[in-house]
């Protein structure tokens, strides 16, 4: 798959969504985000001895994967989508129908390792499909323009998922208890999540909310601090304390156990203090696909029937929640002419697509 502009006139809008998302999934497997690579190269300059050699080897692997367009790691993970759209975006059903086919297409073409198995039988369908797969987190946001949807693609490996932890702390333990829990979890994980890692910490809400916040926090751009002053201070303190553990790259010792620590929080019940820790491994694989309707067709059905409507897509490097990304961040573009039928109708399963995988809302 290349990163050039795709102008598509054939097929359906669902097909177009599928092609662009599959390209983003593939690129996530072999092209590490710029913020992660920058941090890895900085860590290599700061380390010495075996730790520096490990980082040098990892960085050489990044260069080879990008040159050959082959996955950086043999564990290409399971695919997770964070999809966000305005409630008035008229093609939510088309986009939803494209998610599973995009995963299957990327699995064939990249290729990705088949990583979805039945927990009872061990059966593997061979295309990264299955019950509840891919994982889809949908958010309808009034903050987005009505002509816009964005999908963040994440490849989540098993090694970084397994050491994740959630704990219901006693509220009297406070933030000191949260810090102890984070440090205990990182120390117990050791080299298993393939450090240097990004550590995500979720605080508050309930058990499920804390875990979801930790996983989402770990995906935020490396080097950026939380906009909340107290959360930012905790991030900085935890990053220093985690790196003082001496676990180092791949668990072989050194000063760089984590590239960053990210904190997200929510209000909690007075009797509870939920906390969770999640990890992203050293390649922290994530891409964003921004979809926008052109020609002002974001209005009602009557307005969308006027003139030609086109869907524009941009593949952006890393996690991009807002804006269109800098020119350097744009890694692929595409454009599709929306048919009159699709402009006024809904996506149908007879179009040849089927609904996306699991969703928690």
Indicate if the pLDDT at residue 2 is higher than 50: no
3-state SS class at 212 = helix
Q: What is the pTM of this model?
A: 0.90
Return the H-helix or E-strand segment holding 313. Answer: strand 309-317
Please name each of the domains of the chain with its CATH number.
5-29+73-157+285-359 (no CATH), 158-280 (3.30.1330)
Segment 45-68 shows an average pLDDT of: 97
Query: How many Cα atoms within 13 Å fall on the side-chain side of residue 259?
Result: 31
Segment 248-276 shows an average pLDDT of: 98
Buried b (16+ CB within 10 A) or exposed e, 69-80: eebbbebbbbbb
Indicate if the pLDDT at residue 350 is higher than 50: no
pLDDT of the residue at 324: 73
Instruction: Mean pLDDT check: name the lowest of 116-120, 157-161, 351-355.
Output: 351-355
Residue 33: pLDDT band (50, 70, 90) is: very high
Indicate if the pLDDT at residue 301 is higher than 90: no
Query: Which of the two residues, 81 and 294, has the higher pLDDT score?
Result: 81
Q: Which residues make beta-bridge pairs with 83?
A: 138, 151
Going from the C-alpha of 100 to that of each of 17, 118, 153, 284, the distances in angstroms are 11, 17, 12, 22
């Amino acid at each position: 798959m290349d990163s050039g502009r795709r102008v598509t006139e054939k097929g359906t809008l669902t097909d177009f969504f599928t092609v662009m998302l599959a390209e983003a999934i593939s690129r996530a497997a072999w092209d590490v985000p710029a913020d992660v690579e920058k941090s890895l190269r900085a860590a290599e300059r700061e380390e010495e001895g075996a730790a520096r050699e490990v980082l040098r080897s990892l960085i050489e692997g990044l260069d080879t994967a990008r040159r050959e367009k082959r996955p950086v790691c043999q564990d290409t993970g399971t695919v997770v989508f964070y999809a966000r759209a305005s409630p008035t975006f008229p093609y939510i059903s088309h986009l939803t129908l494209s998610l599973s086919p995009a995963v299957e297409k990327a699995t064939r073409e990249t290729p990705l390792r088949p990583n979805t198995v039945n927990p009872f039988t061990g059966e593997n369908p061979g295309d990264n499909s299955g019950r509840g797969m891919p994982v889809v987190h949908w958010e309808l946001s009034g903050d987005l323009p009505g002509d816009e949807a964005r999908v963040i693609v994440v490849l989540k490996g098993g090694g970084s998922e397994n050491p994740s932890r959630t704990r219901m702390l006693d509220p009297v333990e406070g933030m000191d208890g949260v810090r102890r829990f984070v440090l205990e979890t990182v120390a117990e994980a050791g080299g298993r999540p393939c450090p240097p890692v990004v550590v995500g910490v979720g605080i508050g809400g309930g058990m499920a909310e804390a875990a979801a916040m930790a996983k989402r926090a770990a995906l935020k751009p490396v080097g950026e601090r939380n906009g909340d002053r107290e959360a930012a201070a905790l991030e900085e303190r935890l990053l220093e304390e985690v790196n003082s553990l001496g676990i180092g790259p791949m668990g072989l010792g050194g000063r760089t156990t984590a590239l960053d620590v990210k904190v997200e929080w929510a209000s909690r019940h007075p009797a509870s203090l939920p906390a969770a820790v999640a990890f992203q491994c050293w390649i922290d694989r994530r891409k964003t696909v921004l979809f926008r309707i052109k020609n002002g067709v974001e209005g009602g059905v009557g307005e969308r029937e006027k003139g030609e409507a086109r869907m524009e897509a941009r593949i952006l490097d890393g996690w991009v929640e807002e804006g269109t990304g800098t020119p350097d961040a744009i890694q692929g573009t595409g454009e599709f002419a929306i048919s009159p039928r699709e402009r006024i109708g809904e996506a149908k399963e007879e179009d040849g697509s089927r609904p996306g995988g699991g969703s928690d809302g």
